[in-house]
Amino acid sequence: MLHVTDATFQKEVLEADLPVMVDVWAEWCGPCHAIAPMVEAIAEQYDGRAKVVKLNSDENRATAQQYNILGIPTLLFFLDGELVDRTVGVQPIQAITYRLKRVMIKGGAQVDAGPREPLIRLPRKATEWFAIVMLIAMLVGIVTRLFR
C-alpha cells in the first residue's frame, strides 16, 4: 500500500484519476492498527477501481492540519481532488466499504452491490434461542399479572 507524505499528497491524492481513500494514522495509535487489516483488504478488493493510501499524521503535520485532523484513525475520501466524505474512529469494514462505494458511484463508476446484509440477524446458537425464549416467557408472565 502506498504511503503518502506532505510532498506527495498533491500528486498521489488530489491529482489521482481514481477515487481515493486516505487512511490517516499514527504509529502509537491502537485503533489505527485495529483498522489497518480492513484498509488493506479494501485496497486489495478495489485495486484498479479506487486508490487507497496511508498518511502518517505525526510525520506529515501540514496535510493533517490542512484537513483538520483532530482524531485518528480518520478516513478521508476524495473524488477529482475534492474531499467528499470523512469518518473518524474505528468503523466496521461494511461501513468503510459503503462510503467508498458511494464516492465511486458519484464519480460515475459501476459498483457491484455485493452481498446484502440481513435486516435482522437470527440467533445461531442454542444459548441465544434459550435467552429469547426465557425473555418471552418472562414478558408473558408480566403481562398476565398486569391484567388479572
Q: Which long-range contacts (CB under 8 A, 24 or more apart) does 8-11 make?
A: 9/55, 9/60, 9/63
Q: Is 101 a catalytic residue?
A: no
Gap between the Cα atoms of 62 and 89, Å rounded: 21
Gap between the Cα atoms of 54 and 24, Å rounded: 6
Catalytic choice (22, 29, 55, 75): 29
Gap between the Cα atoms of 87 and 72, Å rounded: 9
Catalytic choice (20, 21, 32, 103): 32
Q: Is 29 a catalytic residue?
A: yes
Residues 6+ apart with CB under 8 A from 91: 35, 75
Catalytic residue positions, numbered: 29, 32
